[in-house]
């Protein structure tokens, strides 16, 4: 039986589940227990003991706790921001959430970095955690996004009873009043984990790519008004502040409807209001699903938009909405594609 829990499970039910799993492990793994006892009897070196128990104090957003300096079995729960952060910290990842991409392997969105042997710990399309799968991975660190932690999407209290938590986010506090500052967030978190050099290298990789592409992006897209958003079954959600917009600003581009002070980071348009997008020269949108894509394409108000008529609409997906240097570098490729689209249409 697969045990999939949400935050509504009672403490008594949780205790019973852990007891069942513990008993199954004990009776099914007698040889492993015997081997562990034998190793314990022989003793271990001080270096090994220190390595396993060495921790660092860490604070981010509403979270504060101790995390292992050098974790050996790391599980991430969303598969985007938390996964990218764990990758950049060179953590050994054994499990991942897979809410967004049910048919793909963990890390596929980062070219050359797919984690072939990582197991999944949730049901695709559902934030509920498969605790049986999670416990079987025996993590010594669980990485969780700040929004997942504060919203208690995954059952934070129960997660913390399995392994230490590491809460990460791709923006600095306060979350408004400035563009998304993924660099500042990355460095602030990495410095607490004694991994500044790794973080600096990843930022340098992005900056190098930006320096290479920025002149071309300025030439082709400079002065063009760009809209970012999400095509929905009932309209269009306009993004005003996220990582994609920060990358566009790095490239010196003009983002229509940008608003660093809107705590909601977006506003929604109905099909009847799509003419609000008429000033846009380029629309870079993500589709929640094929239904949303089909629905908006059939709307006369969408078809009349100048960007649509010029063929200057690019559709991407949710992997580029948030993250750090890896995601930002990939989104530069999307902007490069947009520049090519503009050139082809001229």
State whether CATH 3.40.190.10 applies to domain 4-14+50-169. no
What is the structure's pLDDT at 31? 41
Q: Where in the chain is the domain with CATH 3.40.50.1980?
A: 4-14+50-169, 215-345
Confidence (pTM): 0.83
What is the structure's pLDDT at 125? 63
What is the structure's pLDDT at 104? 80
Task: Report the chain (346 residues): mean pLDDT per 10 consecutive residues.
Answer: 50 60 46 37 42 84 97 94 96 87 80 88 74 94 95 91 97 88 97 97 98 97 96 94 96 97 92 98 87 90 97 84 94 94 66
Q: State the SS3 of the chain.
A: CCCEECCCCCHHHHHHHHHHHHHHHHHHCHHHHHHHHHHHHHCCCHHHHHHHHCEEEEEECCEEEEEECCCCCEEECCCCHHHHHHHHCCCCEEEECCCCCCCCCCCCCCCCCCCCCCEECECCCCCCEEHHHHHHCCCCEEEEEHHHHHCCCCCHHHHHHHCCEEEECCCCCCCCCCCCCHHHHHHHHHHHCCCHHHHHHHHHHHHHHHHHHHHHHHHHHCCCEEEEEEEECCEEEEECCCHHHHHHHHCCCEECCCCCCCCCCEEEEEHHHHHHHCCCCEEEEEECCHHHHHHHHCCHHHHCCHHHHCCCEEEECHHHCCCCHHHHHHHHHHHHHHHHHHHHHC
3.30.420.40, 3.40.50.1980, 3.20.20.450, 3.40.605.10: CATH of 215-345: 3.40.50.1980
What is the structure's pLDDT at 21? 54
What is the structure's pLDDT at 105? 86
């Amino acid at each position: 039986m697969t045990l999939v829990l949400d935050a509504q499970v009672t403490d008594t039910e949780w205790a019973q589940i852990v007891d069942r799993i513990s008993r199954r492990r004990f009776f099914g793994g007698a040889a492993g227990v015997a081997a562990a006892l034998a190793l314990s009897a022989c003793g271990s070196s001080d270096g090994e003991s220190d390595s396993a128990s060495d921790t660092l104090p860490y604070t981010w957003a509403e979270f504060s706790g101790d995390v292992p300096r050098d974790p050996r079995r790391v599980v991430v729960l969303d598969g985007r921001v938390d996964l990218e952060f764990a990758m950049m910290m060179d953590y050994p990842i054994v499990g991942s959430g897979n809410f967004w991409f049910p048919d793909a392997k963990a890390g596929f969105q980062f070219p050359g970095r797919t984690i072939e042997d990582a197991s999944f710990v949730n049901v695709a399309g559902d934030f509920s955690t498969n605790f049986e799968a999670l416990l079987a991975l025996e993590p010594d660190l669980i990485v969780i996004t700040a929004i997942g932690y504060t919203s208690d999407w995954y059952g934070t209290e129960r997660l913390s009873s399995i392994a230490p938590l590491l809460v990460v986010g791709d923006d600095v506090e306060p979350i408004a009043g400035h563009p998304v500052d993924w660099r500042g967030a990355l460095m602030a978190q990495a410095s607490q984990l004694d991994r500044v050099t790794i973080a600096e290298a990843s930022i340098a990789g992005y900056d190098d790519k930006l320096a290479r592409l920025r002149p071309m992006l300025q030439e082709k897209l400079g002065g063009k008004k760009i809209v970012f958003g999400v095509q929905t079954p009932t309209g269009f959600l306009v993004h005003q502040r996220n990582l994609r917009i920060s990358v566009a600003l790095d490239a010196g581009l003009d983002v229509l409807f940008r608003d660093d002070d809107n705590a909601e980071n977006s506003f929604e348009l109905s099909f009847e209001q799509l003419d609000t997008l008429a000033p846009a020269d380029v629309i870079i949108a993500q589709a929640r699903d094929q239904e949303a894509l089909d629905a908006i394409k059939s709307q006369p108000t969408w078809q009349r938009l100048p960007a649509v008529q010029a063929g200057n609409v690019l559709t991407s997906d949710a992997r580029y909405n948030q993250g750090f240097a890896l995601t930002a570098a990939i989104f530069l490729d999307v902007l490069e594609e947009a520049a090519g689209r503009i050139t082809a249409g001229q």
